[in-house]
Each structure stands twice: as C-alpha cells, then as structure tokens.
Amino acid sequence: MPNRLSISECIKLLDNREIKVTELVNAYLREIENRDEEINAFITVTKDEALEKAEELDRKGKRISPLSGIPGGIKDNICTKNINTTCASKMLKDFVPKYSATVYERLLDNDFVMLGKLNMDEFAIGGGGEYSYFKPVKNPYNISHMAGGSSSGSAASVAAFECAFSLGTDTGGSILKPSSYCGVVGMKPTFGTVSRYGVVGFAPSLEQTGPITRTVLDNAIVLSKIAGHDEKDPCSIKRDLDFLQDIDKGLKGLKIAVPKELMDMDVIQRDVRKCYEKSFEIFKELGCQVDVVSMPSLQYSLSAYYAISSSESASTLARYDGIRYGHRTKEYSNIEELYEKTRGEGFGIDVKKRILFGTFLLVEKEKNYLDKARKARTILMNEYERLFKEYSIVLTPASPITAPAFGEKQSNALEKYYEDIFTTPINLCGIPALSMPVCKDSNGLPVGIILSARHYDEKTLYRFGHAFEAARGILK
Amino acid sequence: MINFALKHIYDIFLTTKVLEVIILDITNLEKLAKIRLTEEERKEIEKDLAYFTTMLEDPFKADTSNVQGTTIVSHTENVYRDDLVEDFEDLLFDGEIIVPRIVE
Amino acid sequence: MKYEAVIGLEVHVELKTNTKLFCGCRNEFGKKPNTLVCPVCAGMPGTLPRLNKEAVNLAIKAGIGLNCKINKFSRFDRKNYYYPDLPKGYQTTQYEMPLCTDGYIDIGGRKIGIERIHLEEDAGKLIHEEDKTFVDFNRSGVPLIEIVSRPDIRSGEEAALYLKKLRGILLFTGVSDCKMNEGSMRVDVNVSVRPKGLSFFGAKTEIKNINSFQYTQEAIGYEINRHIELYENGKTPENETRRYDEKSKKTYTMRAKEDSSLYMYLPDTELVPLDISEEEIDEIRKKMPLLPEEREKMYVKEHGLSDFDCENILQEVHFAEYFEEAAKLSKDAKNSANLLITQIFSLLESDKVIKIKPLRLAEVSNLMTDEVINSSTAKKLLEKLWEEDFDVENYVKENKLFQINEKDVLSRYIDEAMEENQKIVDDYRKGKKKALKALTGIVMAKTRGRANPRLLNTLLNEKLG
Ligand SMILES: [Zn+2]
C-alpha cells in the first residue's frame, strides 16, 4: 500500500521511477473513499484535479522538488483559489476565494498533488474537532473519540493514511494537540516563518501554519518548502531555512528542561504521565541531560492566551457581516437586523462565545485585563529566554489527557480549556514546537509530547525528534 | 473522567480565595458584537463567560511593574510596500452590493 | 454675562498617493463603483495589509509642515465598529501611538495647537436610493491623515483662518489636493461655550462633514449663538452630533453623540510597528518644498508684493509656481503679479488651469515696464495668448500695438476728441470731474488703446485747463 509509506520513502521510489505519481495518488484517493465517511477528515475532496495533476506529473517525468507528486491536504481555512474555503462554518460554506494563500501557492510551485480541503473546528476556534458546521472529525485510533482541534482533519487525515502530509494552523495548540491525539508529528513554526497571507485566522498575533506528517524527517521536508519570507505578510521574516542540517547529529550532551510546575500537576492522566516520564528515559539513553526547572509564569499563560486571542477574534471576525460575501440572513428589515441575524445564524456556539468574550474585554476599561495579559506575555517570554540560554529544548506532555470521547458532558468551559495549558505559552511567545507520539494509553489512544525551542531553532527540534523517533521505534 | 481536573485547575492556576464574579451584560455584548443569540445559547454562553472572567484574574498576581506589554512577537518593523499600482484583474463581487436603506 | 467659545477641529485629508494605504489598488476619485477593489481592501478572509511607504512619508511631511513632533515609535490600531462601507468591521488607524503629535499653525500671531496627526484608512461610500443603499468600496483603504487641533479656536473666523492655513500647507507640501467637493478634505467641528474666564468645558456639539471653509465659519457662528441663547434661557445644549444646512444657515440634530469610550480599540497585529529614525525624518525635511508662509515672505521681500497679491497667488501650488517662473523672467515681478491676478485669473475656468506660458506673461509685463505697451494692450495681449501662443514682441510689432509716447501725436488725437465731444468738455469745465474719464476713454478708443496713460492724463489736464 503506497499510502502507508513516508514521504522520504516515496521520494526514493518516485526518483527511481519505481512508482508512478498516479499510483500513489490513487492509493490515497482509495483510502479517502474507504475511510473518510467514518473519519470526516475532508470537507472537499479534489479528486479530478488530483488525478489530472498526477497524470501531468507522470507525463512530465521530471521532479522539480522533493514534494513533487506527494499528495497532501490543506486545512479548510487556508484560501485555495477557485476551491471552496469554508472554515468549516455556515458563514463561509459557499465561499470560493479568488486568491490563494501563500503557503498553498508554495506547495503548488513544488508540484505537490492537492487532495482536498480538511475539516476543522469552525474558524479554527475550539480544541476538539467537534465544532465543525459540517461534521465532527473522528479519531482514526478510535472513532468514538475526538481527533483534537482545531486542525482536526489535518491530523486525522495523516493518521488515517488519507494524506501523505497536511497543513494545519496553530493559534493555541491547534496543530500540536490534534497531532498528539492522532499520534502524528506536528510542527508549529516560529512566528513569522510561514506566511499568514490567505490563511483565515482569528488571532493574528498568535497564528502560524505548519505541517503535519507521519515522521519527523517528513515534517522537516515539508516545512522547508512552505517556509520563507513573503512580502504579503508584514510579520514574515527573512531567516535561515535549512531545517535538516542538524537532523542526524544525535543528542549527546544536550540539555532538556522539564518545568516543575507542570510535573507537579496531578491533572495529568496517569497514562500520560507514564509516557511523559518514559520519554525522559529515552532522551537520557540518547545522551541528554534532563533537568527539572521552575517556570512560575506558566500559570498565567491560559488566562493571557484567552484574553488576547478572544479580543483579537472579536475584531478579526467582524468582517463576516453578510454584506459582501458569505452567509446573509434571508429576512431583515434594516441593517442592524441584517447584521445580528446573519452573525447569529452564521457562527456556531464556540465562535460566538469567543467573540462575545473578546467584545467584553474590548469594552471593559476599568480593570484592563488585556493590558495585564500582554504584560504576563512579556514575563513569560523572558522566562523562556532565560531557560533557553541553558537548555536546548523544553519538554512537556502535549495535553494532560488523551483524546476525549464524544458525548462526555463537560460541566463548564474551563475543563475544556485546561487541555491547552501546555500549548498556549508556545503561541504567546512565538517559539517553535514539535508535537510527536511517545506511546499509547491503556485504551489504545496515542500519547504525545511537545518539544519547544528558542525562536528560529526548528532544526534543533527536528534533531531531537528524529533521534527520539528512531529510539522509540514504531508506535505500538 | 474530565471532572477530576477542575479542582486542581483552581488550586494551581487560580487564586484559592473566593473570586469576585463579574456580571456580564450579555445582551449588551450581543448588541456590540452584532450577534443575535437564541435563549438557549444565551444561557450556555453566560455560564461559560462567567468562568472565563474568573480566569482573567490570574495575571493580576504577577508583578508587572516595569513590564512593557507584548502585543506582537515580531522581530521586524517598518515593513513597507512601494507606492506602485497593482490592479486586481478578477471580478471581486458578483454584481452590486445592496443593503437596506440607511438613513443618516 | 460674557461668553467664550471653545472650538476644536478634526480635519480628514486624503493623501496624494498612487495607491491605497494597504494594497496596490488605485487611489482615484470618480471611477465606476467597485472597480478599484481587491481582496485586501474588500476585507476578504485571510488577506493582510501591506503598508504604503509613500503614505507614511506624506504623513511625516504633513507633520513637519505643521510643526509637529514626529514620533519615533508608532503603531496601528483597529477601531472596531459595524457599518456597511467598512469592509473589515474595523478601521485601521493609529489610536494609542500616533505618528505626529504636538504641532501648531500660526494664524497671524496666534498659535492654534495641533494635538495629533494620525495615519488611517478611509471607508467606502454609501449611495442612497429611495428604498435601498448601494455600497461602493473604491474609496475603501484610501490613505487619510486626521489632523486634530487643540480646542484653541475661539470663533468661526479663526476656524476659517486655521483651515485656510492648513490647506495651504498641505497643498504646498504635496500631501493632499484638499478638494472639499471630492471629499479629499473633510471638516468636523467641536463647539462648546463657557463663561469667559472659566476653564471648564461646556456641553459639546459636533458638526460633521461641512462642505466649505465659509460654511464652517457660518456653522460655528450659528452654533455659538445657539449655545449662548440656551444658557441665557437657563437651558443647556445637548451633547450631540449636528449637521449644517447651507440653505437655512442653521444646524440640525443628527444623533446623540456616541460615547467614545464604547469604541473598541485594539492593536493591529497583522501589521508591525513603525520605528522611524532621525535620519529618515531629516531626509524628508531636506526635501520639503517652501511652505506658503516662507513663500509669502519671499514675495514681499524680493518682489514687493502686497498681502493681497500673496493671498491670491498662494491659493494654489501651480499659481505660485507659475508666478515664480514668470517673476524670474520679469523686469518688474510686481507688475507680473498684478497682470496675473487682475487679468489672467479672470480668465480661469473651473479647472484653474493657466493656458498662458509664464514666459509670455513675463514678455507682456516687460513690454509694459519698458513703456512699449500700455495696460489695455497688455490685457488684450493676454486674452489673445489665452487662445494661442505667440512671440509677444513680434506680435506687437506686426500689429503696431506700441504705446503712443509722442506728445504731438497724442495731442492730435486729444484735439480731435475734444472737438467732437464739445458737451463733455463743457461739462468738465462746469466742474463735472467725471467727464475727464469719459474723454480719456474716447482718446483711448481712437488710439486703439495705445495711448501712454500717464502722458494722456497730463496732456488732457493741460488742454482742459
Ligand atoms: Zn485593494
């Protein structure tokens, strides 16, 4: 089954003409056909275009890039010219952009084969994958469990062998968490590394697009092709893009920091803790030093994250007003009614919640929570900076729990949001992080860890990830 | 299964003292955000937002004197474009954009 | 009781750039609706702004021209509100950290403070019909600066003076074309009235979108009187937004004033901050053109122009440039200025284009200075030059338009005129001094306007005795 191969294996076969692009693409399309009715990873499958492209590449024969002929899927908040880009929302269910996101254009320039648009939590808000207007994404390891969000389809499709790789977007763990729930490798790059242009976000100061793959090496290969300066994104930076240079160097003598505050939390599930601690052992065997350090400011991150992301979302999602495109309510007698009904009908409950919370923060002037949150953000950044002077990476679990089951009633909002305690500090500080599986819990669900590093140091994350992956062996 | 975590969240991440609960005027927020909620949605959101706001107190425990707030983790500034015309060739809208009559 | 008005002006000015503030769409007025739009200025999902360097430069120029401090650090914020002409649901503007602060305009001895100048984007336009409203986004994203004065203005006259000065500076720095009829300059006024000598602010009314400086002056005058009248009757004006009706010359309530604390502002994190160096500002400072005030000083000192001359010539940049070009070629620049203002300006059409080369004005003016032609010939020549260009000296030669400077030749014309118009001569001698003018006219007509006016006057006086 060629769709079980890693990208690096595919590259070899394609280079040696041992497999045709058409065969590879067909294998993936078959998997989608067989499996996606259950997983719900895709919103749109671009089958005809994929086959056409595959045939074209086979005819041409020449491979212009490692990604040439590699089939991938794109999260449905990444604009794809002339292909529906719904953000999994009723608001944009018929929206067809007349422009493309820079990341998508980069992939096209590399001759990748587009398989389609991936399901997600509406407007990338939410953490479970159940808040899609269309259908909930299910965990390929156990379909009664969630895939995690918001890049739920991106993680599930790769885990289910429906894509060789996918692109997700991450605002507060939206790549890292679903990757861990689905047992795949996800990268949230340094802020400014991958262009935000054409990516429909909700909190621009926190967002990055990144690859989800089945191996660490594959991930580095994809990131190399989507990263790079883009003049269409004012925050885009010119930086070193050789993510593979250190990948085989081994880990001897490198230092890993483990935050004491997180170690102490008994909110972490027993199996998660076991796997987490097992990862220390593996790293030690690889020659690393694992130190427990104190990061007291981590306690502010959830609060700061929700304040900042919600306020930005209230403003960023204001453009969905029913005037120029997207959903417009059927009946209205004046402009106010047009707005209120359109937005009331077009957005799902989680999006509304976030917008209203953000609106509260924007009008609340007395306590100035936002100002405090921004200051907490600075304190947190300083703390990371201090740590990274001594340590190569910070290691945490990906989530305190493994993928929750559908239908488990959560009695309040906090319960759902505490899942993000390990991921939100990463976005607040704009540092890169890699999520990868360690082992499975007693229910057979994957357990993951997150490795984070200083700004621009993705290559070190790949170095750690690659060595860890080899030492850990196949996930059983 | 998930309930076990809640108490600890309060212990670790929130102050243990009784928090003052901020009463949000949700109908006012609906007006400002131009979102009409159903009665059911309003109930759910009201409850969740109350939790959100208790969480907001966290950073007040931090010593933020002499700390500048961070709005963006950007290592760039002065990113400009030259004043050159780039016409968008495609038709952007299908037809005219019409809204109910607005009286100034 | 004596009252004192406290007036502040907020002036929005569209910048003279090729393209919009955050995208490459053309910054043009009067095009077919929604033809100058792209995904960015239409607020399409996922699009990002890209800041136009020229807009920043022009805003800095305005700041320098208005004696402001140009802030090293500034940033863009979002002002969130819903309106159909606002595609993103927020206006990208500078709220907390504006580009320029603390300037002033000198309005003839008194300095009117400028609190801030910030850079922002314009909204689209609504076109109202009977039962519906159309939205046009051509203007959406056009770069604006908002110039906020301190409440230092005390009367409608001062406001008009401030606006005139402001317009002059913005025109001469090339920041904006300041066309009120096209909306590239828009004026909002804040008026309150308080008992003289006290420092508190009275109830404030805002008058929005006034169409001319004249109307601004009138509206303020009306509003001040209205406030005083209310206070005198034991009432207080409402804090509200009003509009000025040009026909009735009155202001009317539009709506209650928005509570500005309800505006939701937020730093824009799609854009990065501005960090403008001293060198950059100096670079712009070096390239600043002469401002109207500096030009006025030069005109007075070097060419002996009057205040009236200066005010007329400094109305438009191209008038000033025209005059300066002609002055260089003129033996008597003051005479050229007179011809420009009295003759040429009367020929202007609504586009204000001068259809005569500055060189020709100088040629005509020089012939006058040399007493080769007189002023009525000059007038005719300029009217002719308006239609077609020609070499002035040759034309004067060919058409024998020389001024008659010879005493005997002119005497003959005068004698003829006096003979033919005995009644006028009698009138004059009876004491009707006006008759002299009539005779001058008759002699001028006989000479086809070529008589040396000074000589004619002397001779006539002699002969009439
Ligand atoms: Zn545009």
The SS3 assignment for A26 reads helix
The rounded mean pLDDT for chain B is: 77
Question: Contact, A20 vs A53, CB < 8 A?
Answer: no
> Measured between CA atoms, how close is C354 to chain B, in angstroms?
29
The SS3 assignment for A11 reads helix
A contacts of C261 (beta carbons < 8 Å): 365
Query: What is the CA(A57)–ligand 1 centre distance, in A?
Result: 35
Contact A314 B58 (CB under 8 A): no
**Which entry of A166, A174, A311, A392 is annotated as an active-site residue?**
A174
Per DSSP, the residues of C399-431 read TT---B--HHHHHHHHHHHHHHTHHHHHHHHTT
B contacts of A299 (beta carbons < 8 Å): 12-13, 58, 61
Partners for B (CB, 8 Å, 3+ pairs)? A, C
Partners for C (CB, 8 Å, 3+ pairs)? A, B
Query: What is the CA(C43)–ligand 1 centre distance, in A?
Result: 9
Which residue from B minimizes the CA distance to A346?
A: B35
Query: What is the CA(A89)–ligand 1 centre distance, in A?
Result: 25
User: What tokens does A186 get?
Assistant: 């996800």
Residue C35 is classified by DSSP as S
For chain B, the structural domain boundaries read 5-61
Query: What is the CA(C48)–ligand 1 centre distance, in A?
Result: 11
Burial of C270 (0-12, 13-18, 19+ CB in 10 A): buried
Question: Contact, A313 vs A355, CB < 8 A?
Answer: yes
Put simply, the chain A residues between 80 and 119 with a CB less than 8 A from any chain B CB are 98
Query: What is the CA(C20)–ligand 1 centre distance, in A?
Result: 7
B contacts of C44 (beta carbons < 8 Å): 92
> Measured between CA atoms, how close is B92 to chain C, in angstroms?
7
Contact B5 A267 (CB under 8 A): yes
Contact A97 C46 (CB under 8 A): yes
pLDDT tens for C351-375 read 899 999 999 999 999 999 998 898 8
Confirm or reject contact between A293 and chain B (CB < 8 A): no
Task: Give per-residue burial for C328-345: e unless 16+ CB within 10 Å, then b.
Answer: ebbebbbbbbbbbbebbe
The secondary structure element, H or E, covering residue C23 is none
Residue A415, pLDDT score: 61
Overall CATH class of domain A2-226:
alpha beta
Query: What is the CA(C137)–ligand 1 centre distance, in A?
Result: 9
For chain C, the structural domain boundaries read 3-282, 291-380, 407-464
The SS3 assignment for A289 reads strand
Query: Known catalytic residue: A174?
Result: yes
**Which entry of A75, A177, A188, A459 is annotated as an active-site residue?**
A75
Nearest neighbour of A98 by CB, restricted to C39, C49, C84: C39
Predicted confidence band of residue B12 (pLDDT cuts 50, 70, 90): very low
> Would you say how long chain C is, in residues?
465
User: What tokens does C346 get?
Assistant: 């009367």
> Measured between CA atoms, how close is C109 to chain B, in angstroms?
38
**ipTM, 2 dp:** 0.95
Is the overall model pTM greater than 0.80, yes or no?
A: yes
pLDDT tens for A153-190 read 999 999 999 999 999 999 999 999 999 999 999 999 99
CA distances from B12 to A376, B8, C252, C292, C329 (A): 17, 6, 59, 67, 85
Low-confidence ranges of chain A (pLDDT < 70): 409-416, 476
Distance CA A323, CA A338 (A): 9
Q: Which residues lie closer than 8 Å to A265 by C-beta, 6 or more apart? A: A400, A421, B8, B12
CA distances from C291 to A146, A223, A429, B26 (A): 68, 54, 48, 54
Q: Angle between the A270-285 and A458-472 helix axes, to the nearest 10 degrees?
A: 100
Residue A271: other Cβ atoms inside 10 A: 17
The SS3 assignment for B45 reads helix
> Measured between CA atoms, how close is A75 to chain C, in angstroms?
13
Averages of pLDDT over runs of 10 residues in chain C (465 residues) are 92 98 97 96 98 98 98 96 96 97 94 98 94 95 98 96 96 96 95 84 88 94 94 89 93 78 87 95 95 95 95 94 96 96 94 95 95 90 95 91 88 90 88 86 88 89 83
Contact C275 B78 (CB under 8 A): yes
Q: Is the peptide bond before A150 cis (omega within 30 degrees of 0)?
A: yes
Question: Contact, C316 vs C354, CB < 8 A?
Answer: no
For chain A, the structural domain boundaries read 2-226, 256-301+370-472
Domain range C407-464, CATH architecture: Orthogonal Bundle (1.10)
B·C CB contacts under 8 A: 104
A256-301+370-472 under CATH 3.30.9.10, yes or no: no
Distance CA A118, CA A159 (A): 13
Question: Contact, C410 vs C451, CB < 8 A?
Answer: yes
Put simply, the chain A residues between 363 and 382 with a CB less than 8 A from any chain C CB are 363, 365, 370
Nearest neighbour of B24 by CB, restricted to A324, A360, A418: A360
> Measured between CA atoms, how close is B103 to chain C, in angstroms?
8
Query: What is the CA(A78)–ligand 1 centre distance, in A?
Result: 20
Contact C274 B72 (CB under 8 A): no
A contacts of C75 (beta carbons < 8 Å): none
